Amino acid sequence: MSVKVDPITLDIIENALSNARGEMDTTLKRISLSPVIREQNDAFPMICNERGQMVVGQFGSYIPGVVSQYEDDINEGDVFVWNDPYACKGSISHNNDWCVMMPIFHEGVLVGYSSMFGHMIDVGGKVPGSMPFDARSIWEEGLRIPPVKIYDKGVLNQGVLDIMLNNSRTASSNRSDLMALIAGCRTAAKRIGEICDRFGRDTYLSACDMLLDRTKIAMKALIHKYIPEEKISFTDYVDDDGRGNGPFNMTLSIYRKGDVAVFDWTGTDDQAEGPINFHIHEGLCKLFFGIYMIMAFDPDMLFNEGFYDLFEVILPEGSLLNPRFPAPLGNRLNTHTRFFDCQAGALGRQAPHLSMAAGYGTSPHFIFAGQDKDNKYFQLMELLFGGVPGRPRGDGLDGHAWWPLFSATPIEYIENYYPVIVESYRPIKDSGGAGLHRGGSGIEKVYHLLEPGEVSIHDDRETVPPWGVNGGLYGGTSSKWIKRAGSEEMERIPSKIDDLPVAPGDKVIFRTAGSGGWGDPLERDAALVARDVGRDLVSVERAEEHYGVILASDGSVDEAQTTALREKIRSVRGAPEPFSFGFEPEQREAAE
């Protein structure tokens, strides 16, 4: 029964839901064991209404697709788990993500669902970490679990759990992380019950509907303001698929039909032979577009599924974004993150003053596995970060995650639990694209390995740099190196590699990409350029070449020479270009 909810009560319920979503994260971190979840926060919660629509969270709701497989067999105390992207229509996008869902009941009545998924550091397969860089099918990427009940009316299905853990090299941490995901969902269920007790079940359900409607109304206004009726297109590229193929073209066209924004990926390359394919759920695709528009144009909007009806998504079958089974998916984040760069580029053509440049555009992985001196297996997995792009509000962030809640693994944690010394962790000079607002810098991390083992690395943006916008320049690319024990020579490592043998004393130098700059570099305050030089983010040479800033011997700005140089550069250069790509594969001209 729908009831009218006054504005104050609605705000209280909205904030209670947001707090419950945050408490899910806190519960997860206190129980999980793996560094990827416990320290880096690679997990995503959401709370849905009784129809399975996300009311608060980070990812779009996949609940209806799972619930439909069980029809009326949804009971209090049930907890579902799955990780097979194809069996859940891309609600999670590679086998390492274990997803948990539970129905929420209040006095026997279904009032919603809570769900979380998190990255397990190993789910089997042919290499530690379960993301082989050269996989040709998903069969090589570890155990696949369709949606099953891990708890049936409150009773643990020990057989399902045993199968899941028996297929992992890291069973102990996987068990803890799985139970942490379940605990996070139960935390949300408890808080929803308390809201229903306080305000009444009907009031809670009506409030959820009103929150969805409010977001829909606000999004409709954004669509009319920023999405044109004429088609605007943008193309970016993934370097390669790990098997020697590439670059891969990703083309996005955006236009409006009435109140509906259309996001059309026609023109994107066919699915790859290697594991960079991104089997994206249509609803999740809509959420990605929605969150970008919210953060770029109206950050005060509540992020939920209320705007779904206002978006139409076209994902050509057999393409990089809609691959056919059993295409490999393990390293799909190289494509996933380029998805966001394409959004920024396309929307930047329409509203350049509100758009941002391209970022480091991937999710760099470092995996080190082996047997220590006590013959105990170890497996370090870490996500690294790079430059977050320059934006209308200011400089990009240096060495930051593209997911806002992610964080770097503390060096103390790595050195305490794994046979590794982190010798340095620093931003890379000149990797942030020049601009009125400088692009964020990539990072260099040096791992000194203390035991023999094998290393896997997965990265991108080594060939195609992150582009700049509105006159901003492109950022620096990534690179990987190894310095063998007793040698001073640096050996280049491919951006995607597995089973690289390492010995005690070897050092791996991991350099991530920077990001593009925003706005004309000649308009940047010269004092900020001098500050960046002092902080070793920009070289003296780059300050002069790209920013037109001349520094005195004491590091201060030579105002007269700077003014003269900037006037000279402007007269030769003319108006700055709207986009600065740096490197353009041959097909870019045809795509645009």
Radius of gyration of the chain measured on its C-alpha atoms: 24
CB-CB contact of 212 with 52 (8 Å)? no
Say if residue 28 is in the same domain as residue 91.
yes
Say if residue 590 is in the same domain as residue 552.
no
CB-CB contact of 149 with 67 (8 Å)? no
Average pLDDT value for residue range 458-465 = 95
C-alpha span between 570 and 348 (Å, rounded): 23
DSSP letter for each residue of 239-297: ---SSS---EEEEEEEEEETTEEEEE-TTPPBPPSSTT-----HHHHHHHHHHHHHHHH
Helix H or strand E encompassing 507: strand 507-511
User: Domain end: 216, 246, 267, which one?
Assistant: 216
Range of the domain at 559: 526-575
Least confident of 333-337, 468-472, 524-528: 333-337
483 phi, psi to nearest 5 deg: -115, 110
Q: Is 539 within the bounds of a domain?
A: yes
Say which residue, 479 or 582, is predicted with more confidence.
479
User: Domain end: 174, 193, 216, which one?
Assistant: 216
* Cis before 427 (ω within 30): no
Average pLDDT value for residue range 92-97 = 93
Beta bridge partners of 482: 491, 508
pLDDT band at 591 (very low <50, low <70, confident <90, very high): very low
Least confident of 35-44, 82-91, 280-289: 280-289
Q: Is 378 within the bounds of a domain?
A: yes
pLDDT in the model for residue 355: 85
Say if residue 78 is in the same domain as residue 49.
yes
pLDDT in the model for residue 511: 98
C-alpha span between 510 and 521 (Å, rounded): 28
Structure tokens at 440: 């964020």
Q: What is the 3 state secondary structure string of 35-100?
A: HHHHCCCCEEEEEECCCCCEEEECCCCCHHHHHCCCCCCCCCCCEEEECCCCCCCCCCCCCCEEEE
Query: Is the predicted pLDDT of residue 379 greater than 90, yes or no?
Result: yes
Quote the DSSP letter at residue 437. B
119 phi, psi to nearest 5 deg: -85, 120
pTM as predicted: 0.93
Average pLDDT value for residue range 508-529 = 98
Q: Is 230 within the bounds of a domain?
A: no
pLDDT in the model for residue 589: 43
Average pLDDT value for residue range 437-451 = 98
Say if residue 61 is in the same domain as residue 160.
yes
How many structural domains does the chain have?
Answer: 3
C-alpha span between 307 and 311 (Å, rounded): 7
CB atoms within 10 A of CB 589: 9
Q: Is 289 within the bounds of a domain?
A: no
Say if residue 397 is in the same domain as residue 493.
yes
Say if residue 592 is in the same domain as residue 564.
no
Compute the C-alpha angle 273/243/97, nearest 5°: 65
Average pLDDT value for residue range 398-415 = 89
Cβ within 8 Å of residue 507, ≥6 positions away:
423, 446, 447, 448, 449, 482, 483
Average pLDDT value for residue range 69-86 = 93
User: Domain end: 165, 184, 216, which one?
Assistant: 216
Structure tokens at 539: 């070289």
CB-CB contact of 356 with 388 (8 Å)? no
Mean pLDDT score of the chain: 93
User: By C-alpha distance, which of 390, 387, 401 is closest to 357?
Assistant: 390
Q: Kindly list the distances between the CA atom of residue 55 and the CA atoms of 18, 26, 49, 556, in Å, as whole numbers in the listed order.
A: 9, 19, 7, 52
DSSP letter for each residue of 524-544: S-HHHHHHHHHTTSS-HHHHH
List, for residues 274-324, the tens digit of each pLDDT value: 999 999 878 788 888 888 888 778 888 888 899 999 999 999 999 999 999
C-alpha span between 159 and 163 (Å, rounded): 6
Quote the DSSP letter at residue 419. S
Structure tokens at 258: 């009435």
Say if residue 53 is in the same domain as residue 85.
yes
Query: Is the predicted pLDDT of residue 458 greater than 90, yes or no?
Result: yes
Quote the DSSP letter at residue 221. H
Give the chain's length.
592
Say if residue 369 is in the same domain as residue 514.
yes
- 568 residue type, one letter: K
Least confident of 68-72, 128-132, 147-151, 326-330: 68-72
Least confident of 335-339, 395-399, 526-530, 553-557: 335-339
C-alpha span between 350 and 412 (Å, rounded): 46
Q: Is 424 within the bounds of a domain?
A: yes
Say if residue 539 is in the same domain as residue 420.
no
Q: Is 22 within the bounds of a domain?
A: yes
CB-CB contact of 331 with 496 (8 Å)? yes
Say if residue 104 is in the same domain as residue 42.
yes
Q: Is 128 within the bounds of a domain?
A: yes
pLDDT band at 1 (very low <50, low <70, confident <90, very high): low
Average pLDDT value for residue range 186-214 = 97
Average pLDDT value for residue range 72-88 = 94
Helix H or strand E encompassing 16: helix 7-31
C-alpha span between 395 and 388 (Å, rounded): 9
Q: Is 295 within the bounds of a domain?
A: no
Q: Which residues of 26-54 are buried (b: 16+ CB within 10 A; e: fewer)?
A: ebbeebbbbbbbbbbbbbbbbbbbbbbbb
Say if residue 125 is in the same domain as residue 111.
yes
Average pLDDT value for residue range 35-52 = 93
Percent of the chain with pLDDT over 90: 83
pLDDT in the model for residue 289: 87
Say if residue 203 is in the same domain as residue 87.
yes
CB < 8 Å & 24+ apart, contacts of 532-540 = 532/438, 536/426, 536/427, 536/429, 537/398, 537/427, 537/429, 537/430, 537/432, 537/438, 537/441, 538/429, 538/430, 538/432, 538/434, 538/438, 539/429, 539/430
CB-CB contact of 253 with 228 (8 Å)? no
